Amino acid sequence: MISINTNTASTAAAYNLTNTNANLQKSLNRLSSGNRITSSSDDAGGLAVSMKMSAAIRRTDATSTNVGNALSFLQTQDGVLKNADSILNRMSELATLATDVTKTTGDLALYQTEYTALSSQLSAMTNEEFNGIGLFGGGSLTVRTSEDSSQSVSITTSNLSSVQTSVAGETIGSNTAAAAAISTISAAIETLANQRATNGSEQSRLTFAADMLSINKAN
């Protein structure tokens, strides 16, 4: 004779205890990790969304770094342009002094010596670089400003060579030559001013782009 003994209450209690332990373990995992989803079984759809958003945040961080580097590029470029402005102003001053009819030939020669030295320094500045990338050349660089690369900003590698070349051909060894040089140097200063204005506008735009990346990351 076969006898089957069944303890329904005990089976139910064991089942409930197992579920309670499983739920407790999930709660402990969430508390210890700080994550609502600790395994794909917790929320398969939510996990997929969170993975995509986490990747987007990582790309946003990387894009922010790139934009920051581009901004540093422009700031370095502007520093050189500012220095070039000081040089051009001094060259303009020398040319004006050389128009003085009371100056001797020797005086004019001294002015010319300094003028030539400043022109050489201006020429050397056209070769300045930022991390191996030329600051000047007259072209442009494309900076991606969104994590999916759908948005971008172009920054200019200013054409400082054109400014330097225009003033390098001038001499101030005579009153007449100095008077002609003043006009050329004034035009070069105006060109340089336009380049600095372009640089400033590009810095402003990149700053706003960096702000948007920070906002998107937080959201």
Residue 105's pLDDT is 95
Point out which residues pair with 140 in neighbouring strands: 156
For 86, the enclosing helix (H) or strand (E) is helix 44-97
Q: What is the residue-averaged pLDDT of the chain? A: 89
Would you say how long the chain is, in residues?
219
Share of the chain above pLDDT 90, in %: 72
Q: First vs last Cα of the chain: how many Å apart?
A: 71
Which pLDDT band, with edges at 50, 70 and 90, does 35 fall under?
A: low
Residue 207's pLDDT is 96
Rounded to two decimals, the pTM is 0.79
Q: Is 171 helix (H, G, I), strand (E, B) or coil?
A: coil
Share of the chain above pLDDT 70, in %: 86
- Give the integer Cα–Cα distance in Å for 111 and 104: 11
With beta carbons less than 8 A apart as the criterion, state whether 156 and 74 touch.
Answer: no
Which pLDDT band, with edges at 50, 70 and 90, does 124 fall under?
A: very high
